[in-house]
Amino acid sequence: MGIENVVIRAQDWDERHRGVKSDARDAAAMLSRLGRWLEGDREALALVHVPEPEREMARAESRLREQMRRTRQRMEAQGRTLMLHFGRRQRGRWWSPVRWGALSASLEPALRAMLEPLRETIADIDLRLASIEARIEAADTGARQILGLGRLTSQVIDREVVDWRAFPNRRAIGSITGLCPRVWGSGNSRREGPISKCGRPLLRHALIEAAWRMVVFQPDYAPVKRRLPLLLSANKQAKKKAIVAVARRLAIDLWRIRTGRAEPAQFGLRASTPPART
């Protein structure tokens, strides 16, 4: 019928906080914003990019992997807490077959009976998690792999971004990471605070992990070279700020590489050598 549909993010349309909410008021507020948007004010509406079903399915798979990983961590902590309650301190993967064989022999029968269901569940989650991670790593997107980035981390980043070409500039891709600092400014006064965390959490975590890998595998990467003294310092606060800056710049550089705007070598990045075909 010639109708253009746009999807907008959910928000509180009661901007003046009158405490009155109804469908009619929300519709009127949205129509008002729509009128401004049609007149050229692109800040009036926050549009949501709707990915293709295949890309949405891929992103859901990597998010499922993260949910299962956190579930495993939580159950591991439950087991350690239970043992600590009875005076037994354990660290790490207490449930692994090697450690459990020695540990279970020293536990009281009642405590062992409580831990056994946890151990079996964790082992099952770990097995299924390995299968999901192998499937994610095996996916071939055709993108050039950066040395040290890791296929799993690279896939998670690409799937969370969904479509690198949907971002028109470096500020847009920097914003979606949530790694940009909050800013308070008025007149001549300007102050930057902690990162906004306004974006996709899994993307932010994957970029931080990738940034630390760049310190090890890509010492010639420009943001790493510039901040290397801070990254190696004993000041934890300075180190955290430095790695956040590296992660934010890495997202922007990956956007440039993925969209064909630049080559990895321009930033001091080395691409990994593809495995030889047999």
* pLDDT tens for each residue of 185-236: 888 888 888 899 888 999 999 999 999 999 999 999 999 999 999 999 889 9
d(CA 15, CA 27) in angstroms, rounded, equals: 14
Which pLDDT band holds residue 127 (cuts at 50, 70, 90)?
very high
Q: What is the pLDDT of residue 273?
A: 62
Answer whether residue 276 shows pLDDT above 50.
Answer: no
The tens digit of pLDDT for each residue in 232-261 reads: 988 999 999 999 999 999 999 999 999 999
| Phi, psi torsion values for 234, nearest 5 degrees | -85, -5
Closest among 161, 149, 190 to 62, alpha carbons compared:
161
Which candidate, 52, 263, 267, places its Cα nearest to that of 143?
263
Q: How confident is the model over 128-164, as pLDDT tens digits?
A: 999 999 999 998 767 778 999 889 999 999 999 999 9
pLDDT of residue 278: 43
Angle between helix axes 53-85 and 109-138 (nearest 10 degrees) is 160
pLDDT for the residue numbered 145: 85
Using 50, 70 and 90 to split pLDDT, how confident is the model at 18?
confident
Q: Which long-range contacts (CB under 8 A, 24 or more apart) does 271-274 make?
A: 271/144, 271/145, 271/146, 271/147, 272/145, 272/146, 272/147, 272/148, 272/149, 274/145
- pTM, two decimals, is 0.85
Predicted pLDDT at 275: 47
Name the band, by pLDDT with cuts 50, 70 and 90, for residue 274.
low
